[in-house]
């Protein structure tokens, strides 16, 4: 029995936070999933993913009561991704993380049933076909999320600028200005990725995400992971609940194939 924040339970997936719909009725492409490496299919027609972010589009960091998000000005095509499995370019809207109370779990996706201690999501939307992020969230090809695993290892200097800002957003609904940050420093240089059709992992759980999961993790150190765990789900003045185990349980693969960009 391990504590998962505010009571002891056998596994964080049973945490009250996830008593929300763990699966949506009729959902056929829900996320996250386990990526079974040997079942993924190499697709030679997958292109390299091209990432070009403009650090001046970075706006602020805020604690939304689920995670901490770094949000970007998505009113232009200054920060975009293109290529990979994508039909056209997608605009960067925000990035955020999911993590565990302890290093044994925390990621949303698993690889051969292995959890990483945390997972980064860089969220992009299809501004070619849709007028806003809110509209794109409702469409099958509306979003593209790059997933990057975090593993325990060396200190990550780029992440440290984020970690230094976390005490200012400890409580839910707090926000601070944050500028000149280029999130490509958080993406491994190895080009290899898996891709599959999935969904958002918190409500509205819409099946609108083309997932691009990087094969290689980035390394962060114990102090940096512990800094994530000092955040709170709760607002200032409420009884404190540590923001940990903010990841959704694994969902059935159903009739999906995970493709790889590498052999």
Ligand X SMILES: COc1ccc([C@H]2OC(=S)NC2=O)c(OC)c1
**What are the residues binding ligand X (CB under 6 A)?**
66-67, 96, 121, 123, 137, 145, 200-202, 209
For 148, the token pair is 């990057």
Please say which residue, 145 or 165, places its beta carbon nearer to ligand X: 145
Nearer to Zn ion, 21 or 48 (CB): 21
User: 3-class DSSP state for residue 37?
Assistant: helix
> Does residue 214 interact with Zn ion by CB under 5 A?
no
**Binding partner selected for residue 122 from Zn ion, ligand X, none, CB under the kind-specific 5 to 8 Å limit:** none
Are the C-beta atoms of residues 145 and 95 closer than 8 Å to each other? no
The nearer residue to Zn ion, 29 or 121, going by C-beta atoms, is 121
Shortest distance, position 157 Cβ to ligand X, whole Å: 25
CA end-to-end span of the chain: 40
Nearer CB in complex with ligand X: 10/204: 204
| Residue 206 Cβ vs ligand X, minimum distance, rounded to whole Å | 8
Is the distance from CB of 206 to CB of 135 less than 8 angstroms? no
Residue with the two structure tokens 């185990």 = 245
- With H, G, I as helix, E, B as strand and everything else as coil, classify residue 225: helix
Closest approach of ligand X to the CB of residue 160, in Å = 23
Give the nearer residue to ligand X in terms of CB position, either 96 or 171. 96
Residue 236 burial (CB < 10 Å; 0-12/13-18/19+)? Answer: exposed
121 binds Zn ion (CB under 5 A): yes
Question: Omega of the bond prior to 204 within 30 degrees of 0, cis?
Answer: yes
Please answer whether residues 196 and 255 qualify as being in contact, where contact means their C-beta atoms are separated by less than 8 angstroms: no
In angstroms, give the least distance from the CB of 190 to Zn ion: 21
Q: How far is the CB of 33 from ligand X (least distance, A)?
A: 12
Residue 221 or 249: the one with the smaller Cβ distance to ligand X is 249
Find which of Zn ion, ligand X, none residue 197 binds, CB within 5 to 8 Å per kind. Answer: none
Burial 27-60 (b: 16+ CB within 10 A, else e): bebbbbbbbeeeebeeeeebeebebebeeebbbe
Task: Evaluate whether 169 touches 68 at the Cβ level (below 8 Å).
Answer: yes
Is residue 109 near Zn ion by the rule CB under 5 A?
no
Q: Which residue is nearest to Zn ion (CB)?
A: 121
Q: How far is the CB of 194 from ligand X (least distance, A)?
A: 15
Residues that bind Zn ion (CB under 5 A): 121
């Amino acid at each position: 029995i391990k504590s998962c924040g505010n009571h002891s339970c056998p596994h964080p997936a049973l945490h009250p936070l996830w008593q929300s719909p763990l699966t949506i009725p009729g959902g056929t492409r829900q996320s996250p999933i386990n990526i079974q490496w040997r079942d993924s299919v190499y697709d030679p027609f997958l292109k390299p993913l091209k990432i070009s972010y403009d650090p001046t589009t970075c706006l602020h960091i805020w604690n939304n009561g689920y995670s901490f998000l770094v949000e970007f000005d998505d009113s232009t095509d200054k920060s975009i991704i293109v290529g990979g499995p994508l039909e056209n370019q997608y605009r960067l809207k925000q990035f955020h993380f999911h993590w565990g109370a302890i290093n044994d779990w925390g990621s949303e996706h698993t690889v051969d049933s292995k959890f990483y201690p945390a997972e980064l999501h860089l969220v992009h939307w299809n501004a070619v076909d849709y007028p806003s992020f809110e509209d794109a969230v409702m469409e099958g090809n509306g979003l593209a999320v790059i997933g990057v695993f975090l593993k325990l290892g060396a200190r990550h200097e780029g992440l440290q600028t984020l970690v230094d800002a976390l005490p200012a957003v400890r409580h839910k609904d707090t926000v601070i200005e944050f500028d000149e940050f280029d999130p490509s420093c958080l993406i491994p240089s190895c080009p290899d990725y898996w891709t599959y059709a999935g969904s958002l992992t918190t409500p509205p759980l819409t099946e609108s995400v083309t997932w691009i999961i990087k094969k290689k993790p980035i390394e962060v150190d114990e102090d940096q992971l512990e800094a994530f765990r000092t955040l709170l789900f709760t607002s200032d003045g409420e009884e404190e609940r540590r923001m940990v185990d903010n990841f959704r349980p694994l969902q059935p693969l159903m009739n999906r194939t995970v493709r790889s960009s590498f052999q």
